[in-house]
Structure 1
Amino acid sequence: MSRRSLIGEALASVPSEPSATPTPETPATPRPNFTNKRLEAFGEAARIVKRPTIRLKPAECSIWPGNARDYSMLDEFRLRSLIDSILAEGGNRVPTVVRRTPGGPLPYELVTGTRRHWAISWLNANHYPDIDLIAIIEDLDDEAAFRLADIENREREDISDLERGLNYKAAVDSYYGGVQLRMAERLKISKSQLSRYIALTEIPPFVVSAFHSPMDLQAKYAEKLLPLLRDGSVRAKLEAAADQIAAEQSFRRSGDEQPITGPEVLSRLVQSTTTKGRVQRATIVAPRGDAIGQVEKDQQKVLTLSLSPSNLTVDEILEALRPVIEQAKMRSARRR
């Protein structure tokens, strides 16, 4: 499917009127499948979004908090290709959707198009003040705004499952009386899929931090992690493993190394709950005899370094770490 806005696709494909009640000569409508449900969602978007566009400045819009995307996480690196595209075309080809905010601090509230809004804001602040945000004004209540934003965002690859889960969890209580089935029917998605996203919000921050990015934490991981988190006999092991992995991720970032992948993080977290035995510890000693930290090795042969280097130089610290790393490499080679 094209990466262009789903709203744009919906605008180009307004559905026909529903057929009459089936008769013996008219076959019954087939049971809705995933594709049919998505087309119905597009059709609803087409009925909602059908007004002429206007031009305005991003500074005239506040950001509706009901959208799944975390606006604060957007930056030039993530949006570089969109910025270049908007600059080349002189504006956003696919309109955003806004609604009026009478009595509000700004005239409009942005319902969909947060990436386009951010990109044009950036361009306005970086030598291109004449580029406007092209938008459609719609009179939408919060529930309709939520559904419209969800249709556009559902196929986006740069929204994490956790962001979607948090967005869905807030919406099911705000707009659907806490009934997930009602919400699933309105969004044209399966109840099981909706439940997986919402279940992901139960994952505590210490587990999330073990992943290189929230984008790596997939909704399906909740099925394996939540039972372990609810088991008091293994939760402490899971927390210790998550803290260790988070420390490794941080170390890899600082050294521009490849992060631990999402599937590997999940595997290590699950394995940590079945690991038996004690963690081995040893003191790290600097060349002049000062103890500068500790190295721990768990049953999976993973090393964790804790340093308190005081006033040592970088070269002295590296010299102390060299034998620790060489020993670990030799043991690893022997195991192969």
Structure 2
Amino acid sequence: MSRRSAISEALAAPAPTPASELAPEQVDAAQGGAARNFTARRLEGFTEAARMVKRPTIRLKPSECSIWPGNARDYALLTEDRVRSLIDSIQAENGNRIPVVVRRVKNAALEYELVIGTRRHWAISWLNANHYPDIELVAIIEDLDDEAAFRLADIENREREDISDLERGTNYKAAVDAYYDGVQARLADRVKLSKSMLSRYIGLTEIPQSIVSAFSSPMDLQVRHGDKLLPLVRTPAMREKMEAAAKDIAAEQSFRQSGDEEPISGAEVVARLIKATTTSRSSRLQKASIEAKGMTIGQVDRDRARGLTITINPTDLSADDILEAIRPLVERAKILKKRVSDGA
């Protein structure tokens, strides 16, 4: 299969059987199988093209092409850890085996814009800056409008495990407004995704950043979590409680990160957020800041059910300073416990 036929097939595929005519399990199987087949065929085409003597590819420095903002992947969230295996592969092969896809842009500072291959672009940029300045980006030039570029990128991204569900939802929401007149069903038909699944992805964008921040990584917020959180987010009183809980969870995530501890899992975050909406206000007795050396170093919560919960933020203070700050809180807790046990 040639490079051109692989891409043309992806962009001009026949319309699928309407989701309304399939059982739910058939919908899931159909959309998963279609995505895998199209991705496999396109990558096979790219692999074959890379071996062809007359392949229409060019070589670029990553700095010579801009990044198309319509791709689902958030370039700013890529890190060495997330791209490490790809960096090692490109370094070993002295370049990217599968070409990226770029298009020419008019009246722009850079002649080319990257449509597919964000991770490859990031990895080679990293290698260029870290002792491998001669490695270049192998690219295929395609003539694509934004809607076609979106669909082609979606075919590849659907097979990537390191794109978060939230990134997908944000990308789909923007595409619905930009290319499909705000009609989700039109996008669903074009990218061969069930309407219900598309709605679930887009629903994640309703979760405010104040709650997303409770997750150690956006990767931990998944569609299945949105199914549980969204009904509560859409209720103002419940959302307020979740935002308060999310602030505490985010502080604990930061503390764990500073100590190289395992983060709170996505499932546990969801469970704690939901629990916060069912906790009676009367069960909370006190919430106060922990002060030491003229600065706030943490927070203490006193709860009838759980007792004291002490959260210490990352700090440069010594262990003795921290212990001195929390000692009165612990002593006070012992006094209260003794009074209760004595029937006071």
Q: Describe the superposition over 1:31-76 as per-residue Cα deviations: whole angstroms up to 9, x where unpaired.
A: 9923553367449958997762221211110000000111111122
Partners of 1:244 and 1:304 within 8 A in 2: no
Match of 1:254 among 258, 266, 272: 258
Q: Which residue of 2 aligns with 1:27?
A: none
Q: Which residue of 1 aligns with 2:147?
A: 143
Q: Which residue of 2 aligns with 1:24?
A: none
Q: Describe the superposition over 1:168-216 as per-residue Cα deviations: whole angstroms up to 9, x where unpaired.
A: 0000110111111110111011111111110000000111011111111
1:167 alignment partner AA: N
**Deviation of 1:151 (Å):** 0.8
Q: Which residue of 2 aligns with 1:228?
A: 232
2:76 is the alignment partner of 1:72: yes
| Aligned-partner SS, 1:111 | strand
**Deviation of 1:89 (Å):** 0.4
1:282 to 1:163, Cα distance in 2 relative to 1, 3 A: closer
> 2: distance between equivalents of 1:110 and 1:46?
17
1:149 alignment partner AA: A
Q: Describe the superposition over 1:277-328 as per-residue Cα deviations: whole angstroms up to 9, x where unpaired.
A: 231337789999xx98752134662714478x9x975422234436867979
Partners of 1:238 and 1:269 within 8 A in 2: yes
Question: Equivalent pairs: percent with the same residue?
Answer: 60
> 2: distance between equivalents of 1:212 and 1:180?
30
Q: Which residue of 1 aligns with 2:100?
A: 96
Match of 1:180 among 180, 184, 188: 184
Provide structure 1 residue ranges, at least 5 long, that are not aligned to the other structure. Answer: 1-6, 20-29, 332-336
If each structure's helix is expressed as a fraction of its own residues, which one has the higher value?
2
1:273 alignment partner AA: T
> 2: distance between equivalents of 1:121 and 1:238?
40
2:284 is the alignment partner of 1:279: yes
Match of 1:303 among 299, 309, 318: 309
2:210 is the alignment partner of 1:216: no
Q: Describe the superposition over 1:119-165 as per-residue Cα deviations: whole angstroms up to 9, x where unpaired.
A: 11111222222111101000000000001111111111111111111
Partners of 2:288 and 2:300 within 8 A in 1: yes
2:124 is the alignment partner of 1:127: no
Alignment map for 1:1-336 (pairs within 5 Å): 11=6, 33-38=30-35, 41-42=38-39, 52-276=56-280, 277-281=282-286, 295-298=300-303, 301=306, 303-305=309-311, 314-321=319-326
Partners of 1:210 and 1:249 within 8 A in 2: yes
Q: Describe the superposition over 1:215-243 as per-residue Cα deviations: whole angstroms up to 9, x where unpaired.
A: 11011222221211222333322221111
Partners of 2:116 and 2:153 within 8 A in 1: yes
Partners of 2:35 and 2:159 within 8 A in 1: no
TM score, norm. by length of structure 1: 0.79
> 2: distance between equivalents of 1:230 and 1:125?
45
**Deviation of 1:81 (Å):** 1.5
1:89 to 1:239, Cα distance in 2 relative to 1, 3 A: same
Partners of 1:41 and 1:187 within 8 A in 2: no
TM score, norm. by length of structure 2: 0.77
> 2: distance between equivalents of 1:228 and 1:99?
43
Which segment is superposed worse, 30-39 or 85-94?
Answer: 30-39
> 1: distance between equivalents of 2:319 and 2:43?
62
Partners of 1:248 and 1:304 within 8 A in 2: no
| Aligned-partner SS, 1:178 | coil
1:105 to 1:306, Cα distance in 2 relative to 1, 3 A: same
Aligned length: 307
> 1: distance between equivalents of 2:101 and 2:297?
57
RMSD, aligned CA: 3.8
Q: Which residue of 2 aligns with 1:4?
A: none
1:211 alignment partner AA: F
